[in-house]
Amino acid sequence: MKVSRRDLLIGTSGAAAGLLLTPVPWKLLGDVSIWTQNWPWIPEPVHGPAESKHSFCTLCSSGCGIRVRLAANCPVGIAGVSTNPVTRGALCPLGFAAHQMNWHPQRIREVLHHGRASSWTEAQAAFEKACSEGPLAILDGRPGRAASSLLKTFAGKRSGSYRVVFDKESQTLEPYATWSGVSMTELGYDFENARTILSFGAPLLDGWGPPGRFTRLWSERSAGQEEPQLRLIQVEASLSRTARAAWRRVAIHGGSEAALAAGVARVLLEEHLVAMQRPMPQMSLAEAASQTCLTPDAIRVLARTVVENLPVVAIAQDGNPAVAALNILLGTVAASGGIVRKAVHGAPHAAAEPKIDSVRAVLLDSSVPWEFVPQTDAEVFRFSAWDGGGNRADWLLPAPGFLEELTDLPAAPTSPVEMYAIAQNLAVPPANVKSASQFLLQIDSTLPVIEKLILTRCEEILRTRQGSVYGEKQLAVTNFGSAQKLEEELRRGAVWVGEPPRLGSFRCELKEWPTEIPVSRAADWTTAWVPPVLPPLATKLYQESNLREKPARRNA
C-alpha cells in the first residue's frame, strides 16, 4: 500500500488528537510542573532518622523548656514543653527559630584580633601575657551555672575579680538588695500569689522574664475579664503591648514614674490606706500631678484602686528606688504576692559596672549582653557566638552557639523559687569554637570540668532532700537514689524546682523616701533578646508585617 502525503498528515493529526484522549500529556504536564519546582538551587531539607529530645533554651537566662525535633542529628524544629512548671509550653517568638541561629551569617567562626583573623594560640598567649602583667576581671551574664563557678575559681586563683552583668529584670530588684543586704539573685517576684500588679512601664507581656510565666498567668486570670482575678495596672506613656492588654492603663508623662510613685505613696499615707506611717515623700501631690500630667484626683483614685485587691506588688521597668519604696509602704516586701527571697541561699555576686579600672585584662563570657561594653584601658577578650557589630573588644573569640555545649541553668531571673536544669548539647559545634570555660581550662588544667561541677550541684540538691523534679512525671527529690540518677533525669529535660519561698525571711529598712532617682527610659523590643543578632525569621515580624519596629541597634 502506498502511503501518500495526505495519509501521513491524517495519521499524524489523528495520533495527536488521540493522544489528547490518553493520560499521557496530562501526566507529562504534571511532571513538568513538578520538575520545574526541583531546580538544583532550591534547598532541600536534610532527611535522616527523626527523633525528639527535651532540653532548655539557652539564648537568654529564662531557660525555657524546649522540645527539639532532630533529623539526622540536626535540630529542625523547636516547641515548648507543657510539663515545664514555669514556662508551661510557652516560648518567645524568637525561640521558635533559635535552631537556625547556628547558621546565622553573623556567626563568628574564627578568632578576631582588632577585626583581623588570628588564632586561639595567639589569643591564649595574649591573655596569659596580660594576666601576668596585672589584675584580671571576669564578667559573667548568668551567675549560678557550673561555668560561672569555673570562671570565679579562675579569677580567684589569679587574684582577679569576678563580676556579674545583671539582666534588666534582675536590675528591678537592685533597691531591695541594697536596702536588705540580700543578693539580687536570691530575690524574686511572687506574681502567682499577687492579685494586683502595678507596673510602672515594665513590659510584662512583651519579653519580660520567661514568656510562659507572666503571660500565662495574665491569660488565665486577667485577659478579657471585666473583674479579673489578677488586676494588671499599667502606668506608661505609650500604648505598649502590656498597656493595651492591662485591666487599667494610666497614661503619664514619660520619665515621671518616680513622681507618680511618690504621689501614690503620699495618698496611701495621708488616707491611712496602709499600715505604715512613714517615710512620707517630700513631693507634694500637686507636684506629682504636675510632673505626671495627671490630676491629683486621678492619683488618689489610683492609690485607692491599688489597695482594693490585695496583695499588690509594684514593679518598675528598671531599678527605680521610688517604686521599690512604694512596695515597702504597701507591705509587700518579704510577703506573699510581693518581693520574696528564695528558700535556698547562694553566695552573693558583685555587680559589674561598665567602668573597669586598674585591671590589665577583661574577659567577657558569651552570656554577657552584647550592648555591655566595658569602659577600660585593659585588653578585652570577648566570647560570643555572633557578632552584633560595633564591638570594641580587642579580641573576639568564637563561642558555641545554640545547644552546642553542655550547660546547666539556675533559676530564671526574678523567679521566687530555686530551680536547676541541664541543657544538653544537641547540635554539633563548628570547628574552632571554644567557650570561655574551655579556654580557661586550657590555661589551667587544675580547674574543675563542667561535667564534674554539674554532678556536684546534683549532689548538693540531693543532700537538701527538698523540692521536686518535673520530667515526664513529677517526682520528689527523695525518689532519686544517687546524684547520677538525678543528673540523668535532668539531662533528659527534667527540671528541679525547690521549696516555695520563706516569707518574712528578710527586711528592707527605709528611713527616707528616695530622692536621687534616675529617669526611666523605655527599652527597645529586642532588649530582652540576649544574643547580639536576631534569627533571620524575625524579619517576618518587622519587615513582612507591621507588628514590630525594625530594630535599630541590631542587624538581623
Partner 1 sequence: MSARYGIVIDLDRCTGCGACMIACAAENNVPPAREQATSRTGLTPMLVHKISNGLKGAAEREAFIPVTCMQCGKETPCVSVCPQQAVEVDETTGIVMQMPQRCLGCRYCMAACPYHARYFNWWDPSWPAGMEKSLNPGVSVRMRGVVEKCNLCHARLHSAKEKAAAAGKKEINSADCIPACAEACPTGAILFGNLADENDPVSRAAQSPDAFRLLARLGTEPKVYYKSGQAWVRAMGERNSSPAPEVAHV
Q: Which residues bind partner 1 (CB under 8 A)?
A: 30, 33-34, 36-39, 41-48, 50, 69, 71, 74-80, 89-94, 96-97, 99-100, 102-105, 205-206, 211-212, 215-216, 218-219, 223-224, 226, 239, 241, 244-245, 251, 535-541, 543-548
CB of 423 to partner 1, least distance (A): 18
CA distance 131 to 30: 69
Burial of 17 (0-12, 13-18, 19+ CB in 10 A): exposed
Q: Which lies closer to partner 1 via its Cβ, residue 95 or residue 337?
A: 95
CB of 161 to partner 1, least distance (A): 39
Q: Which lies closer to partner 1 via its Cβ, residue 42 or residue 117?
A: 42
H or E segment to which residue 489 belongs: helix 483-491
Q: Which lies closer to partner 1 via its Cβ, residue 77 or residue 254?
A: 77
CB of 542 to partner 1, least distance (A): 9
Residue (of 188, 189, 204) closest to 317 by Cα position: 204
Tell the residue number behind the cell numbers 584601658, with chain if given.
Answer: 377
CA distance 375 to 501: 38
Q: Which lies closer to partner 1 via its Cβ, residue 228 or residue 331?
A: 228
Provide the 3-class DSSP secondary structure of residue 383: strand
Question: In whole angstroms, how far apart are CA 36 and each of 29, 158, 334?
Answer: 11, 64, 67
CB of 114 to partner 1, least distance (A): 26
CB of 385 to partner 1, least distance (A): 14
CB of 48 to partner 1, least distance (A): 8
Q: Which lies closer to partner 1 via its Cβ, residue 18 or residue 224?
A: 224
Burial of 472 (0-12, 13-18, 19+ CB in 10 A): exposed
Residues in the chain, how many? 556
CB of 107 to partner 1, least distance (A): 9
Return the C-alpha cell found at 33.
510542573
Cα 220–chain centre separation: 22
What are the counts of helices (DSSP H) followed by strands (DSSP E) for the chain? 16, 21
Q: Which lies closer to partner 1 via its Cβ, residue 338 or residue 401?
A: 401
CA distance 330 to 311: 9
CB of 400 to partner 1, least distance (A): 16
CB of 36 to partner 1, least distance (A): 7
Question: In whole angstroms, how far apart are CA 506 and each of 176, 246, 537?
Answer: 10, 31, 45
DSSP conformational letter for 538: G
H or E segment to which residue 522 belongs: none
H or E segment to which residue 483 belongs: helix 483-491
Q: Which lies closer to partner 1 via its Cβ, residue 189 or residue 402?
A: 402
Burial of 241 (0-12, 13-18, 19+ CB in 10 A): middle
Contacts 24+ apart (CB under 8 A), 233-236: 233/196, 233/197, 233/198, 233/199, 233/302, 233/305, 233/306, 234/199, 234/201, 234/204, 235/198, 235/199, 235/200, 235/201, 235/260, 236/199, 236/200, 236/201
Q: Which lies closer to partner 1 via its Cβ, residue 28 or residue 547?
A: 547
CA distance 533 to 60: 12
CB of 100 to partner 1, least distance (A): 5
CB of 246 to partner 1, least distance (A): 11
Q: Which lies closer to partner 1 via its Cβ, residue 235 or residue 510?
A: 235
CB of 45 to partner 1, least distance (A): 4
Q: Which lies closer to partner 1 via its Cβ, residue 223 or residue 273?
A: 223
CA distance 306 to 326: 11
Q: Which lies closer to partner 1 via its Cβ, residue 381 or residue 402?
A: 402
Q: Which lies closer to partner 1 via its Cβ, residue 478 or residue 539?
A: 539
CA distance 208 to 414: 10
